[in-house]
A = this chain, B = another copy of it.
Amino acid sequence: MNNMNRRKFIQQTALAAGVLAVPHWLHSEEKINKVKVGLIGVGMRGQVHLANLFKRNDVDVVAFADPDQTYALPRVRKILEKNGKKGVLEFIQGDYDYQKMIETVPMDVVIISTPWEWHIPQGVEALNRKIVVGMEVSGGMNLKECWDIVNASEKNNTPVFAMENVCYRRDVMSIFNMVKKGMFGELLHLQGGYQHDLRGVKFNDGKDAYGDGVEFGDKGISESKWRTPHSLNRNGELYPTHGLGPVGTMIDLNRGNRLLRLSSVATKARGLHNYIIHHPKGGKDHPNAKISWKLGDVVTTSIQTENGETIILSHDTNLPRPYSLAFRVQGTQGLWMNDGNQIYLEGISPEERWEPSKKYLDEHDHPLWKKYEAEAQGSGHGGMDFYVLNALIECVKRKAEFPLDVYDLATWYAITPLSEKSVEKKGALVEIPDFTRGKWKTKKPIFGVGEEY
């Protein structure tokens, strides 16, 4: 398909799907060979994206914005220097200097990797300037901002890519592949979550991001500065996307299916307090030992879907435990469990016996992983960081629809404020809005379909 035809095709598909407004950049005659990228937020996460962007020859990093001159800036400059990049503009004069960047520097895409509360406001501002947004993951601050990003994207005909890297995890993509081949039958029940002992991230010594200590907020640095206050003031599924994103692609979320309602329950909060009082730099007399933490140590969220599946999410970041995203993918013909890495497929596995899943994961390795294995190596998080960036850039170059879009982002983000509301009401049911406003009925699944991104 040549470019003209592709454009027509996309327009027609969009029209057929009831999407009347086509993103403005799809109309552009200009072929993008080199994507101009700016970054808002170049802390630990943004730096990974920066380094990966420099590995690509179809990207021009034009500018970044970050107010942190003491910790982030020297590290970023080192990355620039190491890659021989001199022309990258810096916007480092305070929290709002990013506004000057998106106002003055021409760019196709901005990648936002800032503290959670900044995500949506910054995304909306970029969209209002017709800049495509690559949005890092988190949970939403409130329901309104989830609508804000949808409305801004629609109003400006400018798309958002939801940068959930776990959707591209190798085992997850193998399972996705097997799901689409029908090997699990009709899907019924899915689990996922974020089970990660973040105590050493939520607290540090105020000098190094992963420096042993019990400080946070004003006295902390990096994530402990901005992430930990959420554990102090909020109780709910604070980080839903790593669990929900991948299972969403399997059940065609927002593309033939949608989330209907949820209920969240939280355990008591013990982990962070225990960490402080037992830490060599903490103790019972440390000022932080007096703090009452709001976030329950394990938060479980039950979600029901339009198509009759149930999804269980687990948020568990305050306790000693091995890392696990706790996936379970279960259909009428079998199930895969991430914990224990076990699989059972009726008629294939020995009767009623688990098999190690490795054999199947290898056999059904997704075409994208076969294709880009070498490029992905060393990109971060086991290679998946390559894929999420690759999809962003390749879609922009092709002016193609993002496989994880603003409706996915809004739906994922909404889980957080909705689960907070549910926990506050002791687990009461909460309705989940349809951010597509009915378009889920006609939109077709496109994640993981092609062999290019």
CA distance A320 to B333 in the complex (A): 6
Instruction: Decide: B261 and A263 in contact? CB cutoff 8 A.
Output: no
Binds B, one of A31-39, A59-67, A341-349: A341-349
CA distance A189 to B268 in the complex (A): 9
Q: In chain B, what residue has the closest Cβ to A197? A: B352
Instruction: Decide: A332 and B426 in contact? CB cutoff 8 A.
Output: no
A267 contacts chain B at the CB level, 8 A cutoff: yes
Q: Which of B186, B197, B339, B427 contacts A302 (CB 8 A)?
A: B427
CA distance A300 to B263 in the complex (A): 12
Give the residues in chain B near A268, CB-CB below 8 Å: 188, 307-309
Produce 1/0 per residue, A320-332, CB < 8 A to B: 1111000000101
Produce 1/0 per residue, A279-307, CB < 8 A to B: 00000000000000000011010101001
Instruction: Decide: A297 and B197 in contact? CB cutoff 8 A.
Output: no
Instruction: Decide: B263 and A302 in contact? CB cutoff 8 A.
Output: yes
A214 to chain B, nearest CB (A): 16
Instruction: Decide: A330 and B298 in contact? CB cutoff 8 A.
Output: yes
Produce 1/0 per residue, A174-190, CB < 8 A to B: 00000000000110110
Q: Which of B330, B332, B342 contacts A339 (CB 8 A)?
A: B342
Tally of A interface residues using CB under 8 Å = 49
A151 contacts chain B at the CB level, 8 A cutoff: no
Instruction: Decide: B321 and A352 in contact? CB cutoff 8 A.
Output: yes
Which parts of A318-376 form the interface with B (CB within 8 Å)?
A: 319-323, 330, 332-335, 337, 339-342, 344, 346, 352-354
Q: In chain B, what residue has the closest Cβ to A307? A: B268
Indicate whether A321 sits within 8 Å of B334 (C-beta atoms), given known contacts A263-B427, A340-B340, A342-B339.
Answer: yes
Instruction: Decide: B302 and A300 in contact? CB cutoff 8 A.
Output: yes
A142 contacts chain B at the CB level, 8 A cutoff: no
A245 contacts chain B at the CB level, 8 A cutoff: no
- The list of the 3 closest CB pairs from A to B, nearest first, reads A340-B340, A268-B308, A320-B346
- What are 28 pairs between A and B in contact, CB < 8 Å? A185-B274, A186-B270, A188-B267, A188-B297, A189-B300, A261-B426, A263-B302, A263-B427, A265-B310, A266-B310, A267-B309, A267-B310, A268-B307, A274-B332, A300-B312, A302-B427, A320-B333, A320-B334, A320-B346, A321-B334, A321-B335, A321-B344, A322-B342, A337-B339, A340-B340, A340-B341, A428-B429, A429-B429
